[in-house]
Amino acid sequence: MQNIFLIIVLFVCCTVVQARPVSYPQAWTATTFNDGDRHVFNAHYSPTAFYAIGYNAEYWRDDKFQIHALHMNNLLKRWNGEGSQANFYLRTGIGAAYSDEGEFDDHTELVAFTGLSTDWETRRYFLSYQNRYVEAGNIIDNFSQRFKIGIAPYLAEYGSLHTWLMLEVRHAPEADDQLVLTPLVRLFSGPNLLEAGVSDDRDVQFNFVHRF
C-alpha cells in the first residue's frame, strides 16, 4: 500500500500542480507537498472562485498511516490592495485513515480535519500562516501550524525567472521535534514553480507546482 501511494504521488508531481487552495472558476488543481513528516497529494475542482472540492491523500512516514479524504476549501475573504493581495481560507475534510503500524496494523478509522490559512504578498514580500487539526480515533489526534516569510531579492519582469528566499516555521505540539525551521528557495517562471529546502533537523522539503 505504501509503495502504491508513493508511486501515485511521484507521478502526479511530474505532471500538474497548483498552489492555491481555491483557483479560478472551472479550474482543476493538483498539488504535491513533501517534507520530513508527510507525502501529500491533493486534487480539487473550483466551480467558482470562492470554493473548491476534491480529494486529499497523505502518507505519514514515521507513524506509517495513510489518509484518503474528500475535502472542501473555502475562500472566506480576499483583500486587493495597491500592489498587494491577501486571502483567508477555511479547509475541511472527511474520509478514512488506514494504519500499518504496530498494534494498529491493518486498522481503519474515520478521519476528519479542519484548519484556517491566510496569506499576504506583494512583488517583494510574502507572509503566510496555516493551521490544521486532524483526528482519526486511535490512529492520530494532531494539531500543527506553519508560518512562512519570504523576500524577493530582485523584482523580475513578467515571464522572467523569479526568485524568493523563504523561512518556514512549523510548530507541532505532539511531535518529537515540536519546532522545526526550514530555509527554502522558491524559483518560478511562467506556469512552473520549484521550492526546496533542508530543515534544521536535516529533513528535505520539496514541492513542485505547475499552474493551469
For the chain, which residues make up each domain, given as ranges?
Answer: 2-210
pLDDT of residue 211: 63
Helix (H, G, I), strand (E, B) or coil at 37: coil
pLDDT of residue 19: 58
pLDDT of residue 207: 83
CATH topology of domain 2-210: Porin (2.40.160)
Burial (CB < 10 A; 0-12, 13-18, 19+), residue 197, is: buried
Residue found under cell 510548530: 171
Which positions ≥6 away from 84 have C-beta within 8 Å? 120, 121, 122
d(CA 56, CA 97): 11
What is the number of other CB atoms lying within 10 angstroms of the CB of residue 100? 15
pTM above 0.85, yes or no: no
As averages over each run of 10 residues, the pLDDT of the chain (212 residues) reads 45 43 83 87 91 95 92 96 94 95 82 97 96 94 95 89 95 88 91 86 82 63
